[in-house]
Amino acid sequence: MSDSVWFLGVSESNTDTVERFGEPTGVGSDAIDFTPQNFVADIQSPGASTSTIVDSVLGFTVLAKPNNSIDDLSFAERGFTQLVGLSADEAFSSVAAHFIIDVVEIDGMPVGGIEYNIEADMTFTPSEGDFELGVDGTTSYNTIWYGELMVDIKQHLDEQGINYSVGATKINVLLENTLTAAASGGGSALINKQDFDGVTITVNVPEPSTFLLAGMALVGLAGVRRYARR
């Protein structure tokens, strides 16, 4: 069980209803982890150019336990890509991840009609998440790729001039993750996602007296977590 936060309302949606992230495979130590099983874009070209895009939207809520706040979040993922072809322009793959983080409670109180949205894109290595046979290899190329992102919630609140005693106590996280594979001239391209270390939370633990109201509001919510697919 997570030490300082709850992960609530974990859900996944996409156009073909295939579960790509699946249920969380681990929740604890202020982190949530997924092991994708079906998150792969794989294409083989009979001659003409062809491509495929596979994506999924993952959403969940992070709720700070009493006497805690959510200071920053770190995301990480990794996967594999393989390109094969007889010429430079016959295979391509890419990975992208866009995050929207909505702060919905500060100091244990709803922010009302005010929106505090943070948008960010994950950074990938190598090749910034774009792999092309003519650039990265000759007739074949394969590599493990890595993605990471750190979002400083506290800094965002400070930059927006938002007054708080403790900080963000509830946030909604929405991630759109996309894999693309394209090939031509008899080439082939594959890219998959093998692991998603959902989010690792850094929390602030203030004096209990500064957070009495939030503690009263959150009593009885321990251990709440669900998984749903739309």
Q: Are 101 and 171 in contact (CB under 8 A)?
A: yes
Nearest to 151 by CA among 128, 196, 119: 119
pLDDT value at residue 48: 80
Range of the domain at 149: 5-229
pLDDT digits (tens, 9 = 90+) for 64-103: 998 899 999 999 999 999 999 877 668 999 999 999 999 9
pTM over 0.85: no
Domain count, the chain: 1
